Structure 1
């Protein structure tokens, strides 16, 4: 088994595309802008708009063609929505420069640079996307 891609459930596809395009400094490599968007950032990171499928189900438009009963049952369950299910960790060469770049983007809440030293020194900051998913950014830190 190998990892195919990692995807994030988002609630507003257009705003999420804008957020991740700015954060990752790349445009999507594939896009069905209403339901699925993929970025190639070392591995595939995709955005998935679950609401697209829920709306299709509610419209009852050709649902037997698009979905099976198991997926329809899944859509009707609670807690299938967006937000705070995984922390994404990105590594950069210069944490200080990346921190300033991300803050200046004004795309979401950004923490201060944090420090943890349990088994080794570790510096990082967190930026939250529109659905509250945490993106952790770490890398070489230069004290000022």
Structure 2
């Protein structure tokens, strides 16, 4: 059996991106030095890692602020309530709450590095 347990965003500014995710997720980041932060989301983790520190481990393997293909998806209890809460924050909105063909209601936004985030609620 295999489990995806962690997703990691490579960034040029761990502090700034972590502050954004603290507001959006309403979860306090756990910092491990200045170049690595973790958000515990359910049974999984979302990490924020400094590009320069990552370069020392795996040179040339990542570029910050260029994600054009992966969406971080968060299953929430009430997508419309989350949307109303987040409208109070300066957000780069991609799509307002909409019912999707696969049976969920979701909205999309971008973090400050341009990564796409989806909040969704399955329709019962």
When normalised by structure 2's length, the TM-score is 0.80
Report if aligned partners of 1:91, 1:139 keep a CA contact under 8 Å in 2.
yes
Report if aligned partners of 2:103, 2:122 keep a CA contact under 8 Å in 1.
no
Structure 1 segments (4+ residues) deviating >3 Å: 1-4
Shift of 1:29: 2.6
When normalised by structure 1's length, the TM-score is 0.70
Q: Distance in 2 between matches of 1:122 and 1:140?
A: 4
Report if aligned partners of 1:38, 1:45 keep a CA contact under 8 Å in 2.
yes
Question: How many residues matched?
Answer: 118
Report if aligned partners of 1:95, 1:140 keep a CA contact under 8 Å in 2.
no
Kindly indicate which of the two structures has a greater share of residues assigned to strand: 2
In structure 2, the residue matched to 1:41 is 41
Kindly indicate which of the two structures has a greater share of residues assigned to helix: 1
Structure 1 pair 94–32 and aligned structure 2 pair: CA distance change class (3 A): same
In structure 1, the residue matched to 2:33 is 32
What is the DSSP-based 3-state SS (H/G/I as helix, E as strand, rest coil) of the residue aligned with 1:132?
coil
Alignment RMSD (CA, Å):
2.2
